[in-house]
Structure 1
Amino acid sequence: MNWIDYLGPMMDGAWVTVKLTLYSTILGAIFSFMFGLGKLSRHWYFKVPSVAYIEVFRGTSLLVQMFWLFYALPLVGQLMGVDTRIPPVIAGILALSANIGAYGAEVVRGAIQAVSKKQYEAATALNFTPKQTLWRIALPQAIPEMMPVFGNLAIQNLKDTALVSLITISDLAFVSERLRNLTQESAVVYTLALFMYFGMALVLAGMLKMLSQYVGTWRRAAGGK
């Protein structure tokens, strides 16, 4: 086979990788804010589950988390008499999202805590509610500080999607391995895969840069500058 013949199936696999990255990054961002803010809560019923989630998913392997959702959870369901089987795509997205969300939650927490105490004191003096303080004082200042780290997490998430090939999802890594087994052209197949992952990372980095610029504009608008 000519190397051009590999591009069709590998592009199909790359498209699966793109969708996995998109869905898991968006859901992971939601988890980041949900549990990051939960960890800052004064209420134990928000704080305790948030701390537990962050510590468990940061302290265990992403691969093991994925295997647990796909292989172990159905067995637990059988013992309870409940069907808890998850399609491989859903298991992959959930594992990736939960993992990136745990790291992102610490980014959210740290950025919000880094806002000057004087800002919160000013909000109190202006009789702002906690919700107004969060949306008008804390987040407009904290989110731009989060963006570089979130960008790194998103790119890491793109690379981590290769692990879903181990639960039978036909992403770029899975297709590349199948082509290698069929053709024994390891150098050609993996070189193409390398450049494809690099290209996707460049595009993702560019999109995140534009998002960061938009967030900076939102911050200036929220601050009245």
Structure 2
Amino acid sequence: MTVREFERDRMPVLLPFNLRPQPLQFRPRVVASALLCASLCLFVSAASAQGGKTALPAIEVIAKWAPLLLTGFGFNILISALSMLLGTIAGLGLGLGLLSEFFAIRQASWLVTQVFRNAPWLVLLFFVMFLVPFQVTLFGLRIPLPDWIKATGGFALPVMANVAEVVRGAVRSVPSTQWEAADSLAFTRRQIMWRIILPQCIKRMLPPWMNIYCIVAMSTVLASIVGVSEMLTLTAQVHAAEGGRPELFAPLYGFALLCFFLYCYPINLWTAYLERRFQTG
């Protein structure tokens, strides 16, 4: 038997398994969640250790006032949802104005967008709170405007400007061949926009729209400055009701932080998932 025949006919040899331990994978999301929970537990335990013997521990204080604080948190969610709804409707119209064929409409829309997009949110909130009356009379009927409704309008203004930019960018990202093909089929500009272009823009606009909503939800705590009874305002009142104990400061506000984190972080994960799923290029 020749060497070539031996090499051809010999049986294959299985190599030994690689038994080296694999390195641990670093997962920033899991680490961030664990650090947040550990920090909150540390705040609570430290506050409990600093409290007196007759005072309630921090964990019992949080459990006692949790229903009230969660009610205020629900008010934050309500304000953010209504602001996002109003801002999205107005932003859609403003974004279409940025794409208008008429020069005057396009320039006026650009000016409004730049003003409300680059103005501080707190300044806009103060303007709406103090310039809008506390009630309006319509056909002899007095309609009250409580502070939380005016705060909703104040948050809707920057949302409108940011949504307008999202709409403009999404429409511009659609290839020009779509416009040319629809124009060759004798579609009007309105038909092209509403039946062909905007349906394609939904998946492009959804991830940034959700990012804007997260920012709005976290910014609703600014309403506490103008007297709206949301979670941060109620947290300060609870702290005062418990005698203003310094050791309760971190646990109470840490509880508010945890509520916002547990609400916004899943939205952030969903946004990242949609960005990967709706990749367009």
What interval of TM-score do these two structures reach, taking the shorter chain for normalisation?
0.7 to 0.9
Residue deviations 1:150-198 (CA, integer Å, cap 9, x gap)? 1110100100111111111111111112222333311110111111111
Distance 1:94 1:51 in 2: 20
Residue from 196, 211, 221 that aligns with 2:259 = 196
Unpaired runs of at least 5, structure 1:
75-82, 217-225
- AA in 1 matched with 2:66: L
**Structure 2 residue matching 1:66: 3-state secondary structure:** helix
- Aligned partner of 2:196 among 121, 133, 137: 137
TM-score by length of 1: 0.82
- Letter matched to residue 260 of structure 2: Y
Does 1:66 pair with 2:125? yes
The residue type equivalent to 1:30 in the other structure is I
Give the TM-score normalised by structure 2: 0.67
State the SS of the aligned residue for 2:148. Answer: helix
Contact 1:69 1:86 in 2 (8 A): no
Separation (CA, whole Å) in 2 of partners of 1:62 and 1:194: 20
* Bigger share in helix: 1
RMSD: 2.7
Q: Which moved more, 1:85-94 or 1:18-27?
A: 85-94
Q: How does 1:1-225 map to 2 (within 5 A)?
A: 1=56, 2=60, 3-74=62-133, 86-183=145-242, 184=245, 185-202=248-265, 204-205=267-268
Query: Identical aligned pairs, as a percentage?
Result: 27
Once the 2 structures are TM-superposed, how far is the Cα of residue 204 of structure 1 from its aligned partner?
4.5
- Listed one character per residue, the Cα deviations across residues 75-102 of structure 1 (whole Å, up to 9, x for unaligned) are xxxxxxxx9x953112111111111110
Larger radius of gyration: 2
Quick one: distance in 2 between partners of 1:65 and 1:26?
A: 18
- CA change 1:29–1:198 in 2 (3 A) is same
Bigger relative contact order (CA 8 A; separation at least 6) = 1
| Cα shift at 1:203 | 5.4
Distance (whole Å) between structure 2 residues aligned to residue 108 and residue 24 of structure 1: 17
Runs of 4+ in 1 over 6 A off after TM superposition: 206-210
CA distance in 2, matches of 1:123, 1:41: 18
